[in-house]
Amino acid sequence: MGSNTLSSVREIRHSQRANGPAAILAIGTANPPNCVSQKEYPDYYFRVTKSQHLTDLKQKLSNFCEMTSTEKRYFHHTEELLDAHPEFLCRDTPSLDARLDIAAAAAPELAALAAAKAIAEWGCPATDITHLVISTNSGAHAPGIDLRLVSLLGLRVSVCRTVLNLNGCSGGAASLRLAKDLAENNRGARVLVACVELTVVSFRVCPSAGPCSTSTLISQAVFGDGAGAVIVGADAVHSIERPLFEMVSASQNTIPATDGVLTMQLTEAGLDGHIFTRELIPLAAKHIEQCLTDAFEQLGIICGGTKWNDLFFVVHPGIRGIMDHIQRALRLDPGKLAASRTVLRDYGNMLGATLIFVLDEQRRQMEETGEWGVMMGFGPGFTVETMLLHSVARNLHDKN
As annotated, the active-site residues are 169
Whole-angstrom Cα distance, residue 375 to residue 313?
6
327's enclosing H/E stretch is helix 320-329
E strands, the chain, are 22-30, 34-37, 72-75, 131-136, 160-165, 190-197, 226-234, 245-254, 262-267, 270-275, 312-315, 372-379, 383-391
Task: With beta carbons less than 8 A apart as the criterion, state whether 113 and 96 touch.
Answer: no
Which has the closest alpha carbon to 264: 214, 307, 202? 202
* Collapsed DSSP state (helix, strand, coil) of residue 117: helix
Whole-angstrom Cα distance, residue 159 to residue 113?
19
C-alpha distances in Å from residue 229, one per residue of 113, 176, 288, 376: 9, 10, 26, 17
* C-beta atoms surrounding 18 within 10 Å: 16
Which has the closest alpha carbon to 345: 73, 32, 76, 114? 73
Task: With beta carbons less than 8 A apart as the criterion, state whether 338 and 373 touch.
Answer: no
What's the number of CA atoms in the CB half-sphere (13 Å) around residue 277?
A: 20
